[in-house]
Amino acid sequence: MKKENSRIALLLGSPRHKALWVFGLACVIFLFTLFSFTLSHKPSQLSPIWFPSAIMMAAFYRFPGALWPAIALAGIAGIVGATSLYSPTITLLYPLTNVAEALIGALLMRRWLTREDPLQTLHDWTRMAIASALIPPLLGGMLIGGLAPEGTKWQSLLVWVLSEATGALALVPLGLLLNTLFFKRYRRSPGELLPFLLTATVTLILSVLSLLYLPWPFTCIMVLLMWSAVRQPRCEAFLIFLVTIMTVLTLTTQHPQVLHMIENTLNGYALNDLPGLPFLMVLLPTGVMSIAIHAVESERRRIIESETRFRNAMEYSAIGMAVVDTHGQWLQVNKALSTFLGYHQDELYQMTIQQVTWHEDLPEELDKLNQLLNGDIDTYTLEKRYCTRRGDIVWALLVVSLVRNDDGTPLYFIKQIEDIDDLKKSREANKQLMARITLANDALFQEKERLHITLKSIHEAVVSTDNQQNIIFMNPVAEKMSGWTQAQAQGKPLLQVLHITYENDGFVINGLQQEDNHGDNSEQDQVLRNRHGDRFDIHYTMTPLNTQEGVRIGFVLVIQDVTESRKLLRQLSYNATHDALTRLPNRSNFESQLKGLLKLLPGSHQSHALVMLDLDFFKAVNDSAGHAAGDALLYEIAILMRSLLRPSDILARLGGDEFGFILRHCTTEQALHATQRVVDAINHYEFTWAGRAHRVGASAGLTMIHEHNAHLAQALVQADAACYASKHDGRGIVTVYTLNTHSGDQA
């Protein structure tokens, strides 16, 4: 529905298009009003079915409120124009009543129905019928009946309500469902039109024959329309309903014997003054049938999609998955489980879980399964062993849940089986390794002093301190990095010798972190500045030094010079967030900055502008001068755009010839002026390559982001839609996307 509203906004963007659309709506209402009048057998009688109110109701529902006065004027003009051909006296009472009914019905439907797909279920259809065919006709009927002469009030009320309700049930569902996708579908696949036309033709012919030659013709017509509802989608079915009803109504007017038959039938029930009643009784069940069939088909598609998703998720899962019945029989297994156990899937279907479970682990699993069946637990996780086809014993992590019927009856188990055989083996190896390490720990402690000499030859800076972090020892690398010799630093506080700051703000670190478990306490952005002014990016580890009894005697600080590696990381980070050609931020960087900006909007009363810009005729430069020329042009355009924007504005290349920028802290007029200046500069920019001048243009779409429009995806869609409108409306322009009216204002 949002896409449809955007299309309508673009279509009705200019006053000329609006005037043509209003005139067309007035003509449609005039023709349908004229048709309704032809059904009246006496000038003083009300029509048995009335369409204008339904047409205006659908228009009020579908179009934005700004167009409602024009819709009302078109409706009044169409009704008055048709009335003037049938009656010398014209009153505005009936047209105004029709407009009021249409407005009330549209407001109720806008409140009760979803805009994306208004008629999905029978509940939606019932709400639509109440909002369009019950409440507005009753209100209008009470007004008209109250003004009718004495003795005819009740009759006027009934005829008015039936004619309005029948027209609403015949036309409003079609008005809600009919959209551009209906026509696009048949334009893309003309072959699909033949079944629809064939169903419509058969329904019309058999309905006419039933009315002329069969007893109880409306029963036959109702059956035929239900047959159409079963064979065709909702929109096509309601279109067949409308055409069939109009054809039958025309036949009753042209053949007096048909009208006489209807009157005789109704006369038996004292309803001979209500000729529109049979048509209402036909439309009610057929409309219900069409929506019911649609709901059933939608549910069927949803179930199929759900089953497909489950089947694909299971089949392509990286871990083993299976469906097992309550007796342990494999019902469904995926490829991962088949590979893990070494059996073909068809072989597993002939086996049970007991046959592939290691006998020592079977009692525990059966106990867990019984707890699941009894409802004591909802799921369980278990490490167990399986026997493969080759006879190997392998470990797996098993997660089991139970699926029950609506009445609580157990249906089957869902099992997830993850291969942890290598993990279990590595755990055993680690245990053995830790035992060996424990035995060797005493020997390593005795070698600790010998390592003191080794520290002098390693490439990291090593500093040893006492408990008060006064320096005791520095190796040559530490002397070089700090600018202090060991003799100079001996006994001095550690942070007096090592001047360590945070790189981003230069904040001096007053204390180095330490942990008892020899943990790594470094920060990636820490910098060591020595007494000579040299600067080193560092990575440090501060480890407490304890005796064998656990008494702390000092600390050992190991500092690594990571200047080159951190420089490489910065370069990699920059390359990951910037476009290699223009050196502008790329799409991910741009969206990240936009997301951060959007988070600050709620409660700030600030507004910014998001602009999407596409180069026009860029492909012509690529095709005629080559990709090297195209790259050079993109680079120059990026420089040009950056020079026209403020330093606080964010400019990015989103890909290809698409750019985006954010104008911070501006109004719509300021943003439009700034964007137009960029577009004009590009439109007049002359690019020279190999002695030949080239020109390109630009189309831009602009949307304002503020605390009421602070969703990332929505803002990007709005800007893209506005940019598309610029290209659609002639290129080289700027289109503003307006949130309230969903329309694009061109500049």
Contact between residue 59 and residue 71 where contact means Cβ atoms under 8 Å apart: yes
Q: Are residues 647 and 719 in the same domain?
A: yes
Q: State residue 672's pLDDT score.
A: 94
HSE of 427, CA atoms in CB hemisphere, 13 A: 6
Boundary (domain end) residue, out of 288, 309, 330: 309
Q: How confident is the model at residue 267 (pLDDT cuts 50, 70, 90)?
A: very low
Q: How confident is the model at residue 547 (pLDDT cuts 50, 70, 90)?
A: confident
Return the structure tokens found at 217: 């013709």
Q: Is 658 exposed, middle or buried (0-12, 13-18, 19+ CB in 10 A)?
A: middle
Q: How confident is the model at residue 533 (pLDDT cuts 50, 70, 90)?
A: confident
Tell me the pLDDT tens digit for each residue of 667-709.
999 999 999 999 999 999 988 888 888 889 999 999 999 988 8
Tell me the pLDDT tens digit for each residue of 449-470.
666 666 666 778 888 888 888 8
Q: State residue 273's pLDDT score.
A: 52
Share of the chain above pLDDT 70, in %: 86
Contact between residue 384 and residue 356 where contact means Cβ atoms under 8 Å apart: no
Q: Are residues 185 and 149 in the same domain?
A: no
**Residue 239 clears pLDDT 80, i.e. is over it:** yes
Q: State residue 511's pLDDT score.
A: 60
Q: State residue 742's pLDDT score.
A: 43
Whether 435 is covered by a domain: the verdict is no
**Residue 645 clears pLDDT 90, i.e. is over it:** yes
**Residue 1 clears pLDDT 60, i.e. is over it:** no
Boundary (domain end) residue, out of 309, 337, 358: 309
Q: Are residues 633 and 727 in the same domain?
A: yes
Q: State residue 27's pLDDT score.
A: 92
The DSSP code sequence of 405-436 is -TTS-EEEEEEEEEE-HHHHHHHHHHHHHHHH
Whether 441 is covered by a domain: the verdict is no
Q: How confident is the model at residue 518 (pLDDT cuts 50, 70, 90)?
A: very low
In the 8-state DSSP scheme, what is residue 534?
-
Whether 663 is covered by a domain: the verdict is yes
Contact between residue 88 and residue 69 where contact means Cβ atoms under 8 Å apart: no
Domain of 660, CATH number, reads 3.30.70.270
Whether 263 is covered by a domain: the verdict is yes
Q: Are residues 651 and 738 in the same domain?
A: yes
Greater model confidence, 697 or 479:
697
**Residue 746 clears pLDDT 60, i.e. is over it:** no
Q: Tell me the Cα Rg of the chain.
A: 40
Q: State residue 681's pLDDT score.
A: 92
CA distance from start to end of the chain: 26
Q: How confident is the model at residue 522 (pLDDT cuts 50, 70, 90)?
A: very low
Q: Which among 325, 293, 178, 148 is positioned nearest to 229, based on CA atoms? A: 293
Greater model confidence, 251 or 703:
703
Least confidently predicted of 272-276, 388-392, 718-722: 272-276
Angle at 98 between CA 94 and CA 100, to 5 degrees: 115
Contact between residue 719 and residue 701 where contact means Cβ atoms under 8 Å apart: yes
Boundary (domain end) residue, out of 309, 329, 359: 309
Q: Are residues 22 and 95 in the same domain?
A: yes
Q: Which among 393, 298, 304, 277 is positioned nearest to 342, based on CA atoms? A: 393
Least confidently predicted of 321-330, 351-360, 547-556: 547-556
Q: State residue 702's pLDDT score.
A: 94
Region at 626 (left for phi over 0; alpha for psi -120 to 50; beta for the rest): left
Q: Three-state DSSP class for 147?
A: helix
HSE of 716, CA atoms in CB hemisphere, 13 A: 15
Q: Which among 40, 39, 42, 37 is positioned nearest to 80, based on CA atoms? A: 37
Q: Are residues 271 and 372 in the same domain?
A: no
Return the structure tokens found at 307: 């089953």
**Residue 263 clears pLDDT 80, i.e. is over it:** no
Sort strands 734-738 and 697-705 into parallel, antiparallel or unpaired.
Answer: parallel
Q: Which residues of 172-187 are buried (b: 16+ CB within 10 A; e: fewer)?
A: bbbbbbbeeeeeeeee
**Residue 716 clears pLDDT 50, i.e. is over it:** yes
Contact between residue 240 and residue 199 where contact means Cβ atoms under 8 Å apart: yes
Tell whether the torsion through CA atoms of 108, 113, 114 and 118 is positive or negative: negative
What residues pair up with 418 in beta bridges, in sequence order? 397
Residue keyed to tokens 């007029």 = 669
CA distance 522 to 498: 14
CA distance 297 to 291: 10
Tell me the pLDDT tens digit for each residue of 122-147.
898 999 999 999 999 999 888 887 77
Greater model confidence, 455 or 623:
623
Q: Which helix (H) or strand (E) holds 154?
A: helix 153-177
Return the structure tokens found at 24: 């067309």
* Measured CA distances, 746 to 608, 609, 672, 676, 682 (Å): 19, 15, 10, 11, 18
Q: Are residues 582 and 729 in the same domain?
A: yes
Name the residue type at position 213: Y
**Across 190-199, average pLDDT:** 84
**Residue 531 clears pLDDT 50, i.e. is over it:** yes
Residue keyed to tokens 């893209």 = 720
Cβ contacts of 412 within 8 Å, gap of 6 or more: 323, 324, 325, 326, 331, 402, 403
CA distance 644 to 698: 15
Return the structure tokens found at 657: 């010839």
| Own/partner long-range contacts of 481-488 (Cβ < 8 Å, ≥24 apart) | 481/528, 481/530, 481/534, 481/536, 481/538, 481/559, 481/561, 482/528, 482/530, 482/531, 483/530, 483/531, 483/532, 483/534, 484/530, 484/531
Domain that holds residue 695: 578-746
Which are the catalytic amino acids? 657
**Residue 264 clears pLDDT 60, i.e. is over it:** no
Residues in the chain: 747
Domain of 331, CATH number, reads 3.30.450.20
Q: State residue 108's pLDDT score.
A: 94
Whether 428 is covered by a domain: the verdict is no
Greater model confidence, 124 or 180:
124
**Residue 515 clears pLDDT 50, i.e. is over it:** no
Whether 254 is covered by a domain: the verdict is yes
Tell me the pLDDT tens digit for each residue of 26-51.
999 999 988 888 877 555 456 678 89
Q: How confident is the model at residue 254 (pLDDT cuts 50, 70, 90)?
A: low
Q: Are residues 610 and 691 in the same domain?
A: yes
Q: Are residues 279 and 381 in the same domain?
A: no
Q: Three-state DSSP class for 212?
A: helix
Q: State residue 744's pLDDT score.
A: 40
**What is the overall mean pLDDT for the chain?**
82
Q: State residue 651's pLDDT score.
A: 94
**Across 196-201, average pLDDT:** 88
Phi, psi (rounded to 5 degrees) for 331: -100, -35
Q: Are residues 599 and 740 in the same domain?
A: yes
Q: Are residues 68 and 153 in the same domain?
A: yes
Q: State residue 178's pLDDT score.
A: 84
Share of the chain above pLDDT 90, in %: 20
**Residue 12 clears pLDDT 60, i.e. is over it:** no
Return the structure tokens found at 218: 């409306």
CA distance 475 to 458: 9
**Residue 509 clears pLDDT 60, i.e. is over it:** no
User: Which of 115-119, 497-501, 549-553, 732-736 tops mean pLDDT?
Assistant: 732-736
Contact between residue 398 and residue 382 where contact means Cβ atoms under 8 Å apart: yes
Q: How confident is the model at residue 245 (pLDDT cuts 50, 70, 90)?
A: confident
Contact between residue 161 and residue 141 where contact means Cβ atoms under 8 Å apart: yes
In the 8-state DSSP scheme, what is residue 506?
-
**Across 1-22, average pLDDT:** 60
Which strands, in side-by-side order, build the sheet including 410-419?
330-333, 320-325, 410-419, 393-404, 379-387
Q: Are residues 335 and 481 in the same domain?
A: no
Whether 260 is covered by a domain: the verdict is yes
**Residue 745 clears pLDDT 50, i.e. is over it:** no
Q: State residue 54's pLDDT score.
A: 92
Q: How many domains would you assign to the chain?
A: 5
**Residue 396 clears pLDDT 80, i.e. is over it:** yes
Tell me the pLDDT tens digit for each residue of 437-448.
777 666 666 666
Whether 572 is covered by a domain: the verdict is no
Residue keyed to tokens 């050609």 = 581
Q: State residue 268's pLDDT score.
A: 45
Q: State residue 453's pLDDT score.
A: 64
CA distance 428 to 430: 5
Instruction: For residue 25, count other CB atoms closer than 10 A to its CB.
Output: 22
Tell me the pLDDT tens digit for each residue of 624-639.
888 888 899 999 999 9
Q: State residue 103's pLDDT score.
A: 94
Q: State residue 265's pLDDT score.
A: 54
